[in-house]
Structure 1
Amino acid sequence: MDIVVITSIVAGLFLVIGLAEPLAARLRLPFSVILAAVGILIGSGAAFFWSTELTDALNPVALAILNLPIRSNVFLYVFLPTLLFQVTLGMNLRRMLDDWVPILVLAVVAVVAATFAVGYALFYASALPLAACLLVGAIVSTTDPSAVVSIFRSIAAPKRLSRIIEGESLMNDAAAIALFGLFMGYVMSGVPDPDMGAAILGFPVLMLGGALTGIAIGRIAVGVMVLVARFELALISVSVALPYITYIVAEQLAGVSGVIAVLGAGLTLNLLGPGRLPPQSWNALREVWDLLAHWAGALIFILAALLIPRLLDGLRVSDLGLIAVVTLAAIAARAVILFGLLPLLARLRLSPRVERPYRTAILWGGLRGAVTLALALAVTESFRVPIEVKRLVGILATGFTLFTLMVQGTTLRWVIGRLGLDKLGPLDAALSQQVIAVALQQVREDMASTAEQYRLTRDTVRAEAKKFARRLDRAVEAAEASEEILDRDRVTLGLIALAGAERDLILERFRERAVSVRLADRILSNADRLIEATRSGGRLGYLRGARAGTGGGPRLRGAVFLHNRLRVSRPLARLTADRFEMLLAQRLILNDLHSFIDNRIRRIHGRRVADLLHDLLDRRGEELQQTLDGQRLQYPGYAEELERRFIRRTALRLEEREYTAMREDGLIGSELYQTLMQDIAGRRSDAEGRPKLDLRPRKQDLVRQSPLFADLDDRTVRQLARALVTRYTADGERIIRRDSPARSVFFIASGAVEMDLPGGPKRLGRGEMFGQIALLLKHPRRAEVRAIAPSTLLILDEARFLRLLKTSPVLQRAVRDSAAARGFDPEEVFAGRDWNTAPRGAATLEPDQTPDAATAEGTSDAPDRDARPQRPA
């Protein structure tokens, strides 16, 4: 084929891509529908001009289009890895992991259900063997991700719902292609009735093997990128090669799912890249992949649509009935998932509740596209598939795809309108009128100051001011006539706006290098969770979301277990340092939110709501400061090191800003500017290094700062510090079980715990103790104790506690006060003790036989037995 003709065709396709997007916006149709229609027109037009005798001038172009080397491998090996890889880079992985159960269930179960529903319906309606029918089901079971994403953006669906459906539409490509590979093997081998047990067992092997392959290659690629991190273009080039190498290795060498492997590699880069690659290089990499994916997504639709006339060749009237069977079976299977499985997941609290109108929009928006056509093309290209099977597979897959694009796609916005998803709710409508009135009032004030500043003509200003005043009056009247907003709703709306402003501040601080690169993604995820928690739970949801953002989660609990049980401290040290840095960053951001309340929220919702938001923000700041103070107490000096690091990075940012301003003003040249920037880059690299956190607690400092030990002399403090055993607890961890034997007393060095007493729960914080009443009364524990925040406990065994209690009046008063507060007679607690003789083995506080903290009694993961004596670590 002439290179000039090929170049012309490629240039024409890019021109079509450039014009299709504004056309889709004007016609209010999905972008993919416009591309498919254009592709069909081009393919049909080429076939018409080649076959007609009206003109021969366009025959070379028509022949070139008809002879384009479009094969299934072009879609599967060139375009599909690009699309999948870019989507994984743009995903908020931490938020996706929050909803991994509904995403995985919808992706796998929905595809399997559609495959078998279509397969068996077609088997009973046609003469095709079961393997071929199931092959058709696998081909038509996957939805098009780009179409689904555009649908939910157009109806402004809740973010969590959009995230679940986007994740499902991405993962179901992998499930469908894996099933396609299984049933394609049966069809090519001539097996009429496949072994379903073997198919079911082979499916997870393909998926798991693909995931492990992708993760391994992704980690290797990240290591290579780190080596070439100084060279931005080299780093981007490695990223471009990554999905193709991964797909080829998985499919050709490992014999596993290439799609899943590409997803695994992309998610690995998404998780590791932001923390190990320079921020500017990471942003440039994302921008390049956005452009590549846009081109690939558009080209795959146009080229696939060019095949439709070829795939429909040989269409018979009887085939229309089979297309209807496939269409009805596929829609019915998807309806069962949406109206049966999704509500069940919501009842089990594994998925957010999806309103019926949204489920209806999802059902009608299940468009099929290029992947379906590419798989059908792969069947028609195989010489090992019977001719009649190839013909029917191509026709059925193409006919169903055309139905979803041309019928569902073109009527989707009408369906959304009928469902009322394109309209504001009463609360949002009422709020919008007030927002407009406030905005126009501000504009009028700014207009007056502008006219005065520039000394505009009075008549001109007066004429325009009258027009604007009429519009403002109408806006005020509409706001007054709109539905009244309850104060509770105003608070919720104000908190949503406040959480959104917090997210914007995080992004701004990240651009200014005030927030660490490695933690920016995690802090943004916490901000997104805060917004969603506020939408669903109002004021209480906001506070719960804020507390969850300062906790450690399952990762911290796992790290605490490794540290306490196996003495593996590195994960706990890293997560604790991350938490330290996150707390400092959140404190800086919270300080800037008060001005947002005064400048923006007060004007819309009024003084009372603004004051309440100030109070909530103050309460959140106090809780955060208490947590930070506990960390400071536990690791003195580390917070100061982080603050010095922040000051150094801020100074570098300001210095960089000054040099940039000087270059823009022409005070320095480009060569000097580049030299200065290189110097700043080197110093910034040094400043990014985080100080190492030593987990070993300074127990003497903790003892001295506790009011319970205020009357101890230095020698006793040193002995007590050596005798105390440190134990770390994660949020929610059970410390003491009810009815367990009492053998030690716990002092809270940092954090907080909750005691589930018979009379009701009681919370204890830093500087308090628990476990002493049961020990003195020689009774089993009456309360269950759990940590309600990441805490550090100091544990003292019975013998040394009694020795210390005998010599410390302050501790005796604290025990008496705690006994009285919990309904015990203090004299009864101290009765029966011979204070003239020390307990056996307690002549000194020296830790000759101190129990290990990990085997302290009453814990959820340790049996109730005497701890083996050993010296504390």
Structure 2
Amino acid sequence: MGGVAVMWTLAQQTPLGNNPALENQTPGGIPELAIILIILLLIATAVALVTQRLRIPYVAGLVLAGLPITDVLSHRIGLDPSLVLNLFLPILIFEAAINTHMSRLRSTFKPVALLAGPGSIFSSAIIAVLVKFGLGIDWIPALLFGVILANTDTVSMIAVFKEIQVPSRLSAIVEGETLFNDAAALVSFNLILVVYATGSLTVLEGVKELLVVALGGGLVGAILGYLSLPIFVRLNDPLSSLLLTVALALGTFQIGQFLGVSGAVAVVMAGLIFGNLGLPRSSSASDRITLLSFWEYAGFGVNTFIFLLIGIEINPLTLWSILPSILLVILAYQLGRILSVYLLLAGLRWFDRPIPLPWQHVLFLGNIKGSLSMALALSIPLTLPGRDNIIELVFGAVLFSLVGQGLSLPGLVKRLNISRVSEVTEQAGKLQIQLIAAKAAQDELDSLLKSGVLPKAVYEELWASYQVRVAESERVLRDFYNQYRARQLKSDRSGLDAIRRRLLLAEKGAVSDALRKRIVPENLVQPYVKDLDEKLLSLEDD
């Protein structure tokens, strides 16, 4: 899907700027588009085989594979920023949002908000100052540099974390930060362009504009997300449900942009609502799997073409000629990330569970740039002085980030031992998976029986076979729990603490909901919630 769209754009851009000779070129027709698409698919397939064999991140392999064929294909295809922002970005954000569980996001909201909000602004400011005085450019280009390079690429980080095992809380923080970081980058980028176009903007007007755009985007996404729920429930056909979700993802972004609010924030909100409130309402497990599998494939396909095109778009020889400036830009965004991560998270312990230092190292090195940074650079108005130079420097920083940091991140995680899981915890996890799967199968059997699809005799036989698995898993898990209670092995607390955390969060949500409904008095709720918070803080990081 993404690849065909890329071919049709035939973007009128060279690897690092504009080429007037290409402006009058016309597409070579459908056969040429098909041939180019086949070539890209074959390259991506070869990259998948090689990266699996060498155990390196797939996205880094795609970028490296695209570099040697820059001169061959870059004049026929291009990374069109309009295509990335209006088609690819909504697909990727929606796919990440529907797979983000509200409870995980809620449990990590404070560090996510700290990094995606003040952290992003702080990092942007540091980058802007260093780039302005280091390269001797004006404030507007420097601020654009700051916003573009403070953004952490959603695609890159989630793709890397799918290939290496990390603690669930760390994974939730990274996914949450990258999800909202994209939206924050787009809002800030557009605000700077408003300053460039109007010539001035007061601090009060800027804050007002940010709030209107961000909160307005959230409101639009929430409305459209909730409106899609009754339609989804009435659609019994999984293929029709797929069409609804595609329309929701792309339509929400366009409606948000049309209304002058953040389309990215709107898609995030719509995806969270649909994924947490819509998908669980589906009566069929197979329909839910079909939907999630489609969006996984869509995200994978878009990722493949984006990162392959990034490699094709970048001309290494051009970057080599401006290497000192690129190194300065890399130093600037790395320093901005260092200060925003280590300084801000050092104060997190005052109002939330602290982030372990090894995790902070991963958050720093995981500051990977990608398609959005390149798309924003290409979206800079043609009238801005030094536009081509900005594009070249951003492309150089993206190349270093994807290849250098992308290749080194898995090794860092292994050396830090943050992915180490004890044998007991791993065995308990396997039993939990068996228990969850068997329970889900029994729920599906109940649904089939009620719908009249399954005879009762067959239902009872199948249900009993799954019940044997359930009983065995529960028995062994109970034994593990009793051993833990007897030994108090700290190394194996994480799995049980993860369950306790979910139970405590469920208690807190129920009590807070009762307070909102005026069922219980506030003076009794506050100490109870405070006690729950203290219990949450005492749990081990999962």
Q: TM-score range by the shorter chain?
A: 0.7 to 0.9
Shift of 1:180: 0.9
Deviations 1:674-724 (A, max 9, x none): xxxxxxxxxxxxxxxxxxxxxxxxxxxxxxxxxxxxxxxxxxxxxxxxxxx
Q: Which residue of 2 is the match for residue 404 of structure 1? A: 401
Matches of 2:515 and 2:493 in 1, distance apart?
34
Question: Does 1:326 find its partner at 2:348?
Answer: no
Question: Does 1:271 find its partner at 2:298?
Answer: no
Deviations 1:375-410 (A, max 9, x none): 11111xx33x23x42112101211111221233233
Matches of 1:515 and 1:97 in 2, distance apart?
32
User: In the alignment, residue 242 of structure 1 is paired with which amino acid?
Assistant: L
Q: Which residue of 1 is the match for residue 386 of structure 2? A: 389
Q: Which residue of 1 is the match for residue 252 of structure 2? A: 246
Q: Which residue of 1 is the match for residue 101 of structure 2? A: 92
Shift of 1:237: 1.0
User: In the alignment, residue 221 of structure 1 is paired with which amino acid?
Assistant: S
Check the 8 A contact 1:214/1:261 in 2, yes or no: yes
User: In the alignment, residue 227 of structure 2 is paired with which amino acid?
Assistant: I
Distance 1:30 1:195, change over 3 A: farther
Matches of 2:435 and 2:353 in 1, distance apart?
30
Matches of 1:326 and 1:547 in 2, distance apart?
41
Shift of 1:366: 1.8
Write 1 or 2 for the structure with the bigger share of helix: 2
Q: For 1:161-240, list aligned pairs within 5 A.
A: 161-189=170-198, 191=199, 195-227=202-234, 229-240=235-246
Question: Does 1:421 find its partner at 2:417?
Answer: yes
Matches of 2:494 and 2:330 in 1, distance apart?
46
Which residue among 345, 348, 351 is the counterpart of 2:350?
348
Q: Which residue of 2 is the match for residue 300 of structure 1? A: 306
Question: Does 1:369 find its partner at 2:375?
Answer: no
Which residue among 296, 301, 311 is the counterpart of 1:290?
296
User: In the alignment, residue 94 of structure 2 is paired with which amino acid?
Assistant: F
Q: Which residue of 2 is the match for residue 80 of structure 1? A: 89
Matches of 2:253 and 2:231 in 1, distance apart?
18
Q: For 1:488-527, list aligned pairs within 5 A.
A: 493=424, 497-498=427-428, 501-513=431-443
Question: Does 1:23 find its partner at 2:32?
Answer: no
Which residue among 249, 256, 262 is the counterpart of 1:257?
262
Matches of 1:139 and 1:400 in 2, distance apart?
11
User: In the alignment, residue 60 of structure 2 is paired with which amino acid?
Assistant: V
Check the 8 A contact 2:150/2:337 in 1, yes or no: no
Query: Comparing 401-410 with 508-517, which one deviates more in the overlay?
Result: 508-517
**Over aligned residue pairs, what C-alpha RMSD do you find?**
3.6
Check the 8 A contact 2:359/2:418 in 1, yes or no: no
User: In the alignment, residue 195 of structure 2 is paired with which amino acid?
Assistant: Y
Matches of 1:197 and 1:540 in 2, distance apart?
46
SS at match of 1:368: coil
Shift of 1:217: 0.9
Shift of 1:70: 4.1
Shift of 1:503: 4.9
Deviations 1:187-215 (A, max 9, x none): 344x3x76444333322322111111111
Which residue among 126, 145, 150 is the counterpart of 1:117?
126
Distance 1:516 1:99, change over 3 A: farther
Shift of 1:538: 5.9
Shift of 1:240: 1.3
Higher relative contact order (CA 8 A, sep 6+): 2
Shift of 1:135: 0.7
Matches of 1:139 and 1:111 in 2, distance apart?
10
Q: Which residue of 2 is the match for residue 142 of structure 1? A: 151
Check the 8 A contact 2:220/2:266 in 1, yes or no: yes
Q: Which residue of 2 is the match for residue 678 of structure 1? A: none
Distance 1:7 1:131, change over 3 A: same
Shift of 1:733: 3.8
Identity of aligned residues (%): 23
Shift of 1:32: 1.1
Distance 1:17 1:551, change over 3 A: closer
Extract unaligned runs of 5+ from structure 2: 1-26, 448-476, 533-542
Check the 8 A contact 1:93/1:270 in 2, yes or no: no
Check the 8 A contact 1:78/1:244 in 2, yes or no: yes
Q: Which residue of 1 is the match for residue 34 of structure 2? A: 7
User: In the alignment, residue 31 of structure 1 is paired with which amino acid?
Assistant: Y
SS at match of 1:302: helix
Matches of 1:324 and 1:551 in 2, distance apart?
45
Structure 2 length-normalised TM: 0.77
Check the 8 A contact 2:131/2:142 in 1, yes or no: yes
Extract unaligned runs of 5+ from structure 1: 47-61, 432-492, 518-526, 566-727, 736-752, 754-785, 787-873
Matches of 2:501 and 2:98 in 1, distance apart?
29
Write 1 or 2 for the structure with the bigger share of strand: 1
Deviations 1:26-64 (A, max 9, x none): 2232211111122222223x1xxxxxxxxxxxxxxx5xx
Distance 1:68 1:547, change over 3 A: closer
Larger radius of gyration: 1
Question: Does 1:335 find its partner at 2:331?
Answer: no
Matches of 1:84 and 1:169 in 2, distance apart?
10
Shift of 1:239: 0.9
Matches of 2:122 and 2:501 in 1, distance apart?
40
Deviations 1:156-211 (A, max 9, x none): 2211111111211221111111111111222344x3x7644433332232211111
SS at match of 1:66: coil
Q: Which residue of 1 is the match for residue 140 of structure 2? A: 131
SS at match of 2:39: helix
Check the 8 A contact 2:150/2:333 in 1, yes or no: yes
Q: For 1:48-59, list aligned pairs within 5 A.
A: none
Check the 8 A contact 1:42/1:306 in 2, yes or no: yes
Shift of 1:508: 1.9
Matches of 1:734 and 1:422 in 2, distance apart?
35
Question: Does 1:309 find its partner at 2:315?
Answer: yes
Matches of 1:408 and 1:82 in 2, distance apart?
25
User: In the alignment, residue 36 of structure 1 is paired with which amino acid?
Assistant: V
Shift of 1:105: 1.3
Q: Which residue of 1 is the match for residue 63 of structure 2? A: 36
Distance 1:558 1:144, change over 3 A: closer
Which residue among 540, 549, 559 is the counterpart of 2:503?
549
Q: Which residue of 1 is the match for residue 14 of structure 2? A: none
Matches of 2:108 and 2:510 in 1, distance apart?
19
Matches of 2:343 and 2:102 in 1, distance apart?
27
Distance 1:393 1:245, change over 3 A: same
Shift of 1:541: 9.1
Check the 8 A contact 2:170/2:359 in 1, yes or no: no
Distance 1:515 1:78, change over 3 A: same
Distance 1:129 1:508, change over 3 A: same
Matches of 2:188 and 2:524 in 1, distance apart?
42
SS at match of 1:512: helix
**Number of aligned positions between the proteins:** 466
User: In the alignment, residue 268 of structure 1 is paired with which amino acid?
Assistant: I
Query: Comparing 281-290 with 150-159, which one deviates more in the overlay?
Result: 150-159
Distance 1:131 1:557, change over 3 A: same
